[in-house]
Amino acid sequence: MSTELEQMATRLLKGIVADELLVPYGQLLSSDGCLPSEAAEVLGGSQVVEALKETGLAYVMPLGMAVPARLVATAPDLALQGALAALSRKLVDDQQRLLDGQRRMVDMHPFPGVMEGQADQLVRILTDRTEITDTSRSLLGTARRHWLTLENFAMERPLEELAGMPPLPAFEGNVLSRTIYQASCAEHPVGAKIIRMHAEAGEEARILPEIGMKMKLADEAVALLPLTPTGLPGALLIKSPVIVAALREYFELLWQRAVPLGQAEPQLPLKPIQMSILRMLAQGMTDDGISRRIGLKTSSVRRHVSAISKELGTTSRVAMGAAAARRGWVK
């Protein structure tokens, strides 16, 4: 019968009750219990005995005036009920601590306007170098879905000083991190090492020949823009939803143009002859002029122009050139 009880206890309590308590609980369950004075020696220490009693797995049963009380095991079904009740109480306590912690984080967070939905200070100018550095690191902690950056490694201190730094913490977990690097970053040995280190931590990286400025963007909530090439003497902290949304769209346009890290050339949907025609269209040339330049019939040029127009999603020659420029197909 004791074996059946032990099997039932394992089935009901495994994974619910701490494993280190299941063995002494099984000892009590398979016996008639033990004297409280002997329990520590029999079960593996006074801490084990206290833990069994605190979790409801064992209790002291009085047997009357003439017979000493004994420490006995609680029936498995009742032990499970007690364990679940204890877990429920712990969850309530943990939830309360979580709520208290979140309130404290809101009070001390560097971006309270974002976290509380306030509309004040939508654009803030930062001029203190320490504040800019701290804000940049703190901004990373606000990202819950996306962490987007533009990086050209323009900085005031040697790039070598960054090589030994560990990957940023947002690269671990559920935050999708994407960075567009200026090509010169990957060409520098230390820059290539940093990019590789971040990629190994989960970052997606792409390359563009030139990047006009640095940028850090957390979700659709907060952005940090430099006021100088390095960003240390001055920066803009932006929490305006309209501006942040525009910056996110700007990043996505650059992402489409950028080449995935390690890929030699971007994959363009146009044929080489169509790319040539597109460049000439961007220069303002007519179909007849293009026809004479490349030696194709005007009707053939027009078919290619139609294909280009369809790919770019516009019929206007002016809009076609602007759309191609946004994608980086023409200058």
Going from the C-alpha of 246 to that of each of 63, 148, 229, 253, 258, the distances in angstroms are 77, 13, 21, 11, 18
Model pLDDT for residues 314-327, shown as the tens digit of each residue: 777 777 777 776 66
**Closest by Cα among 272, 309, 304 to 290:** 304
pLDDT of residue 173: 61
Top pLDDT among 160 and 191 is at 191
Residue 216 CB: number of other CB atoms within 10 A?
24
- Residue 131 structure tokens: 């504040």
Q: What is the pTM of this model?
A: 0.48
**Closest by Cα among 121, 102, 128 to 243:** 121
Whole-angstrom distance, CA of residue 26 vs CA of residue 5: 9
> Is 70 in contact with 43 (CB distance < 8 Å)?
no
Per-residue pLDDT at 310 exceeds 70: yes
pLDDT of residue 118: 45
**Closest by Cα among 249, 190, 248 to 223:** 248
Mean residue pLDDT across the chain: 79
Model pLDDT for residues 49-102, shown as the tens digit of each residue: 988 888 888 888 877 677 788 888 888 888 888 788 777 777 777 777 877 776
The model's confidence at residue 10, banded by pLDDT at 50, 70 and 90, is: confident
The model's confidence at residue 328, banded by pLDDT at 50, 70 and 90, is: low
Top pLDDT among 117 and 90 is at 90
Whole-angstrom distance, CA of residue 324 vs CA of residue 309: 10
pLDDT of residue 44: 86
pLDDT of residue 113: 45
176-182 vs 58-61, strand pairing mode: unpaired
pLDDT of residue 110: 52
- SS3 for 277-297 is HHHHHHCCCCHHHHHHHHCCC
Q: All domains of the chain, ordered by start, with CATH? A: 1-80 (1.10.10.10), 118-260 (3.30.870.10), 272-327 (1.10.10.10)
Sheet architecture: strand order including 146-151: 123-126, 235-238, 222-226, 215-218, 146-151, 176-182, 204-208, 259-260
The model's confidence at residue 160, banded by pLDDT at 50, 70 and 90, is: low
